[in-house]
Amino acid sequence: MSAIEALYIFDEHNTPLLEHTYTGRPPPGSTVLPLYLAHTSPRPSLIYLPSTNPPTLLYSIIQDQLLFLAPCSRDTEPLQVLEFLHRVADVLEDFLGAPLLASKIESNYDVVAQLLGEMVDGGVIANTEPNALRDVVEAPSSMRNLLGAVGLPGTTPSSLNPSTTPFSLSSRGPSLSISGRTSPTPAQTISPVPWRRANVRHTSNELYVDIIETLSVTIAPSGRPLAALANGSIAFTAKVSGIPDLLLHIACPGGINNTLSLPVFHPCVRLNRWRDRPGELSFVPPDGRFVLAGYEVDLLGPRALDAFSTDAKAAAAPKLNIPATAAIATSLGPTGVDFEVRLTLNARFAGKPKKGSQSGSGIGSGSAGSSSISRQAGGLSAVGMGIGGAGFGVSSSSSKGTSSSPTIEELVVHVPLPAGVKNVADLRVVKGGGDAGYAPGDRSIEWRLSSREIAALMALDRGAGQGVLATLRGTVVGDVDEGNTEGGPVRLGGEQRWEYDEGPASPASSLAPAEPNSNSKRGFGDEGIAAADARRVKANKVLMPSCVTVSFSVKGWLASGVRVESLSIDAKRSKGIGAGVQPYKGVKYVCVSRKGVEGRC
């Protein structure tokens, strides 16, 4: 069993904020921090420290520029320790608020100490669920006052019903007698569900499903995809009184079993239901927002290897239908110092609603004893628009950012540059608009297009459906190395050509400027100039960018095609929900690329 020996937290300046020892005699934070910093960045999450006594494994994560370290001197399960560190960061964010700052930890040491003591008992991980921790740890005073102002419980259940009336132990049972009435014992205030707080009450009952996918695509110079993955997360927000029992049904065009791979679930999900009926998630949710599930999708599918095939059927390799791609052409111009970035936008994401799409109120698909969220022919709303009660509907307006009209948000193209590049001259957007910026010394070029500029570009397509092309050109400037024509960066222009005269010595210098078109043994005619330019093109290749990446976000669309079919509440298995309560339900789809679409050259 894994043992958590200690936890050290440092701020962004590597100043110690907190040291908490659970068991044993681990090396102090002042000892492990220099050993951690001795490794070059990026540092791995697991570092072996043989110089400590005893030799120690050091686990680390960085959250909001705060460094979390956990030393272990015995055999442990690495993933369990790393997951514990992530849980600590999430719990602190839940109690202290996001983002997690050093000042928040310093001003709430009492709360942080209680949390760390409840999460680990004698080195063994005990309780890491934020909802369960709220039953035993009081929230900070400022947070407690804020929650109390809006009518939400911000402290332990024992203080939810304060009373100044004297009380005494009742001789008839294990309850407390207050003015002739009985109040529940502490055992009765503990939730039967470990990940959910007890006595949850909400004035408005709401359920939200947010599916977020992150793209990771690599495209070869020929335009063929080398790899295309989408990592998805299903974020769920439950604001329902009592203990609801929910059933979420998701689907995708290729079938859940054939599309989703490596699924991971929150502990609240009943795994047997998923195994028997893939696509159905049955669970009792924690209170508030949490990550219900995660998954990975190979967008190339089973034909991924066809992209590398050389037979005639290789033309049938799968093609990606993603919002934007970029390609880069290098070594342009007579000396090979120019490059061009070509950005292609998919016309499908012009923000225009599809023909035949419907809008209006949702049609409920619930049965007796349950209420549900249903998918219409026109698609689910991508901005969380819903109708409380038995059904869910798409937005009544054809606004942008819905599943019927997905829209590309602000788009950024990054062009990484080699270390030898000192400047980029004549950087200009030839077609497409946007702002391209570069400062001498930067390691990349950044080209930004706003949503308005993207919409203007999409309008140029005029319904052809072929997509639009935007281009960016520039000239790189490298180090100056006189006389270097065989390799390495060279001067870009203004050089004087000289030739050596092998004739008899004369009073004049034997070195004289050559005529521009003179033909001699050394050869600086047309063929000589062409050969020199070819050598310069070869030498300047070290200054050329090797790839280009695209960052964007799209509302109302997922690369995998995953969608929510229904969300229902099982009234028979739920507890504490009032009769006839129909929660408001909403869903949102977002696809994000953080430098995830990469075009190589």
> Taking the model in full, what pTM does it have?
0.71
- Cβ partners under 8 Å of residue 259, min gap 6: 252, 253, 297, 560, 561, 562
What is the token pair recorded at 367? 């049965």
Instruction: Give the residue from 512, 477, 474 showing the smallest Cα distance to 494.
Output: 477
Query: What's the pLDDT at 463?
Result: 52
Instruction: Give the residue from 213, 468, 219, 228 showing the smallest Cα distance to 349.
Output: 468
Q: Which residues make up the CATH 3.30.450.60 domain(s) of the chain?
A: 6-146
Other beta carbons within 10 Å of 294: 17
Res 599 pLDDT > 80? yes
Give the span between the Cα atoms of 489 and 504, in whole angstroms: 36
Q: Which residues make up the CATH 2.60.40.1170 domain(s) of the chain?
A: 206-321+557-600
Instruction: Give the residue from 201, 151, 205, 574 showing the smallest Cα distance to 386.
Output: 205
pLDDT-based confidence at residue 142 (cuts at 50, 70, 90): low
Res 271 pLDDT > 60? yes
Instruction: Give the residue from 485, 600, 479, 487 showing the smallest Cα distance to 547.
Output: 600
Please name the fold of domain 324-351+409-478+542-550.
Answer: Immunoglobulin-like (2.60.40)
Beta strand 423-431 with 468-477: parallel, antiparallel or unpaired? antiparallel
DSSP code, position 352: P
What is the token pair recorded at 31? 């000892």
Give the span between the Cα atoms of 453 and 450, in whole angstroms: 5
Query: What's the pLDDT at 574?
Result: 87
Does domain 206-321+557-600 match CATH 2.60.40.1170?
A: yes
Of the candidate CATH numbers 3.40.50.970, 3.90.199.10, 3.40.1030.10, 3.30.450.60, the domain formed by 6-146 belongs to 3.30.450.60
Range of lowest pLDDT (102-106, 201-205, 293-297, 327-331): 201-205
Strand partners, 216: 229
Residues 234-247 pLDDT 10s: 999 999 988 899 99
Give the span between the Cα atoms of 509 and 15, in whole angstroms: 67
Give the span between the Cα atoms of 153 and 156, in whole angstroms: 8
